Amino acid sequence: MSIQETAILEPGLAWLLIALFTALYVGLGWFFGRRDKELDQFVLAGRKVGLAVGTATAMATWVTSNTTMMAPQLAYQIGLWGMIGYALGSVGLLLFAPLAKRIRLLMPHGYTSGDFVRLRYGHLAWRIFLAISIFYSFGWLVSLGMAGGVLTHALSGIPYWQGMTVILAACVAYTLIGGFRAVIGTDFIQSILILVGLVAIAWLVIGRIGFDEIHLSLQLERPELLTLLMPAAIMFLFNNLLFGMGEIFHSNVWWTRAYSFREGVGMWAYLLAGIFWAPIPIVAGFIALAAPALGVNIPAADMVGPIVASELLGLAGAIIVLVMVFAALASSLDSLLAATAMLVVRDIYYRHLRPQATAAHLRTATKVTILLLGIIAWLLCLPRITTLAELLHFTGAFVASTIWPIAAGLYWRRTNRIGASLAMVMGSLAGISAYFLIGFYVGALVGAAVSMVIVLLTTWLWPQSFDWETLKEPPPRH
Amino acid sequence: MPHRHVPPALWAIPLSAVLLLPSPTLAQNVPTLDSTTQTARAGYYQLRWGMEDADGAIYRLEESRSADFQTAQILYEGADRATVISGRSDGTFHYRVQATLPDTTRSPWSSPLTVEVAHHSLLQALTLFVIGAVVFLATLALIVTGTRRHQEPA
């Protein structure tokens, strides 16, 4: 049953826009990926990505539909800290910059984040890591698919499942056709669409509503959103920062980029992407605070961004939001599909099941996996079980527990395999307990803290002497 | 708006007779009203409502600080079937909803719903804030010192 009966866009116009941009992305996907016949080209764009495209792909991938829809949701639910806390997600990109440089140096022939954990910590830690990473990937995939449905429903009244299905299918299609080069090529176009869209919305909003009016309505109707001492918001601040770090440090989405960038590019690409990304959630989050001043009803917290933008800006605003958020979620969905498929194929299929597989066979397996991931994500998206923020933050406890095993593993010889495995398991358990006992705004924080203590203790108590050369595993002979 | 009371003598009429009586002002169905939580620890919650066979209905959601709705205010009036409340300070809030059908008949009020807003303790929040800050600064120190130490190729 629909919970919202009023929408700005005619469903026909919304379908037309979705069809146009789907055709654009599929066409671009074919164009960018038409020459990538080799496996290395299909999955890592030949390891020659330059600074401009590198920065754009890192930024566009991190500007997900979650940034444009969850930042307003959190501002609407927990106020100023929600908005600022979300912007602290840029810290993950900034801190991954030196890690990307080191990853490229230590593992010139690496393919996945799983390769690092396998070589650095052995098979037990590797399998724990794969479970966490694949679970997280599904959480992110489902939140993106859900965002597609929520967005089209909020703007046009199109039933949730229809919008979700079409947007998910579009992203699967062009990722399948073009491979990794299509992903980063479309990311470049999509990052331009996102930035232009945000600037246009900010420019239109400034002319229509004043700070005083927003402040007064919040003070009268929702005073806690303005207070800097709201307990849940205070806890959320570092939770979101650590969640972002956990997402980026462990996820194959970011590792494949580190491997694919030309030498010397990774550090600057991630630094610039972090700097460009930081203001985006502030702009996106701010418009949610205008909802009380507008007197507009918000039926679900994750619909607040699109509803306020279209209420404030009418048809033009609704069109801009649809194009921008479609670009934002497509730029992340394609990256996630490609990177997760690669993790599944290389770390599970190739390493566990078919070590003799040829390059051509793995290329086909990657395509089949992209399709399967799309289908499974679609099935999981169908029952809209929770809000975007609560779904994504559920995975926070797990990914934050990988921060210390990854960072310490890249810099400290003495961090050992038992410590890394224990840190990921105990960190995840502690984080998920905190998620249920306290709230979604503490899962990552508690997970990261417990994991850090275990890594520090075990490194101190049972130091190992790791040989960095072990990470320079020669490329597989397919 | 005053609460609509059931007439005192109604208990004496058989239920089947009540259901068969045509009513000029009241629809037969009663709206349902639910909240995502009964105790909101972060000051936000979602209220959802609806009614069977009520296509095109306009709903009126009221909020009151007292259980008898003597000082109720209209929180929402329209066709949507949910709303998100946020930014509330500690306290107890009572809600009820009524539907008006396209033929102007009005439903009875839903059963009242009570939500208590009780924020987490500030001490707990600040403790977790400090833990978060320590983890972040330690991670930053690890990366900065590690990067400096490994300037040369490994």
Question: Which is it for the CA torsion B10, B14, B20, B21, positive or negative?
Answer: negative
Selected for mutation to probe chain A from B39, B75, B84 (highest A CB count within 10 Å) is: B84
What is the structure's pLDDT at A248?
94
Tell me the two tokens of residue B4: 């609509």
What is the structure's pLDDT at B5?
35
Question: Considering only CB atoms, which chain A residues are within 8 Å of B128?
Answer: 234-235, 238-239, 442, 445-446
What is the structure's pLDDT at A3?
53
CA angle A73-A74-A77, nearest 5°?
Answer: 90
HSE-up (13 A, CA, CB side) for residue B117: 21
Contact at 8 Å (CB) between A445 and A239? yes
Taking CA–CA distances from B132, the nearest residue in chain A reads A238
Q: Do B146 and A410 touch (CB under 8 A)?
A: yes
Selected for mutation to probe chain B from A222, A243, A451 (highest B CB count within 10 Å) is: A222
Tell me the two tokens of residue B137: 């600064």
Q: Dump pLDDT digits (tens) for B28-57.
A: 689 999 999 999 999 999 999 999 888 889
Calpha distance A171→A207 (Å, rounded):
35
Q: Do A235 and B125 touch (CB under 8 A)?
A: yes
Taking CA–CA distances from A240, the nearest residue in chain B reads B132
DSSP code per residue over chain B: ----PPPGGGGGS-HHHHHHS--SSB-SS--EEEES-SEESSS-EEEEEE-TT-TT-EEEEEEESSTT-TT-EEEEEES-SEEEE-SPPSEEEEEEEEEE-TTS-BPPPPPPEEEEE-PPPHHHHHHHHHHHHHHHHHHHHHHHHHHHHT-S--
Nearest CB to B79; choose among A5, A91, A408: A5
pLDDT at B141 over 70: yes
Question: Considering only CB atoms, which chain A residues are within 8 Å of B60?
Answer: none
Nearest to A269, CA basis, from A30, A56, A15: A56
Calpha distance A267→A98 (Å, rounded):
6
The ipTM assigned to this model is 0.85
Taking CA–CA distances from A80, the nearest residue in chain B reads B87
Q: How confident is the model at residue B16 (pLDDT cuts 50, 70, 90)?
A: very low
Domain extents in chain B: 27-119, 120-154
What is the structure's pLDDT at B83?
96
Contact at 8 Å (CB) between B49 and B82? yes
Residues 1-40 of B with CB under 8 A from A: none
Q: Do B147 and A98 touch (CB under 8 A)?
A: yes
Give every CB contact of residue A216 below 8 A, 6+ residues apart in sequence.
A293
Three-state DSSP state, A261: strand
HSE-up (13 A, CA, CB side) for residue A122: 10
Q: How confident is the model at residue B21 (pLDDT cuts 50, 70, 90)?
A: very low
Count CB-CB contacts under 10 A for residue A58: 33
Residues of chain A with pLDDT under 70: 1-7, 35-46, 65-66, 205-206, 385-390, 477-478
Nearest CB to A105; choose among B79, B88, B154: B154
Question: A326-340, B5-19, B129-143: which range is least confident on average?
Answer: B5-19
Q: Do A242 and B138 touch (CB under 8 A)?
A: no
CA distance A293 to chain B (A): 14
Q: Do B50 and A1 touch (CB under 8 A)?
A: yes
Q: Do A231 and B120 touch (CB under 8 A)?
A: yes
Question: Considering only CB atoms, which chain B residues are within 8 Å of A449?
Answer: 131-132, 134-135
Selected for mutation to probe chain B from A247, A297, A440, A471 (highest B CB count within 10 Å) is: A297
What is the structure's pLDDT at B139?
97
Cα dist. A417→A99, A124, A348 in Å? Answer: 20, 8, 20
What is the structure's pLDDT at A249?
96
Question: Considering only CB atoms, which chain A residues are within 8 Å of B133?
Answer: 238
Nearest CB to B126; choose among A234, A446, A468: A234
Size of interface A-B (CB pairs under 8 A): 168
Q: Dump pLDDT digits (tens) for A234-287.
A: 999 999 999 999 999 999 989 988 888 888 888 888 999 899 888 888 888 888
DSSP A327: H
Q: Do B86 and A301 touch (CB under 8 A)?
A: yes
CA distance A278 to chain B (A): 17
Q: Do B133 and A238 touch (CB under 8 A)?
A: yes
pTM, to two decimals: 0.82
What is the structure's pLDDT at B13?
38
CA distance A376 to chain B (A): 27
Question: Considering only CB atoms, which chain A residues are within 8 Å of B89?
Answer: 223-224
Helices (H), A46-112: 51-62, 65-78, 80-87, 90-106
CA distance B7 to chain A (A): 33
> What class does CATH assign to B27-119?
mainly beta
